[in-house]
Amino acid sequence: MSAIEALTKELSRLPGIGTKTALRLSYHLVKGTKEDVHRLAGALRRVADEVHPCPICGNYCDGEMCGICSDPARDGSVICVVEEAYEVGAVDRTGRFRGRFHVLGGHLSPLDGVGPERLNIAELEARVVAAAPKVEEVILATNASVEGEATAVYLENLLRRQGVRITRLARGIPVGSDLEYVDGTTIAEALAGRREM
Residues forming contacts to a second copy in the complex (CB under 8 A) are 2-4, 6-7, 9-11, 13-16, 21, 23-30, 34, 36-51, 60-62, 67, 84-86, 89
Going through the chain in order, the beta strands assigned E by DSSP cover 52-53, 60-61, 75-82, 99-103, 137-140, 165-168
Q: How far apart are CA 135 and CA 142, in angstroms?
A: 19
Q: How far is the CB of 151 from a second copy (least distance, A)?
A: 18
Q: Burial level of 24, CB count in 10 A (0-12/13-18/19+)? A: middle
Complex with a second copy: residue 48 or 179, whichever CB lies closer: 48
Q: How far is the CB of 183 from a second copy (least distance, A)?
A: 23
Complex with a second copy: residue 30 or 146, whichever CB lies closer: 30
Q: How far is the CB of 7 from a second copy (least distance, A)?
A: 4
Q: How far is the CB of 131 from a second copy (least distance, A)?
A: 31
Per-residue three-class SS string for 114-133: ECHHHCCHHHHHHHHHCCCC
Complex with a second copy: residue 2 or 94, whichever CB lies closer: 2
Q: How far apart are CA 193 and CA 103, in angstroms?
A: 27
Complex with a second copy: residue 12 or 171, whichever CB lies closer: 12
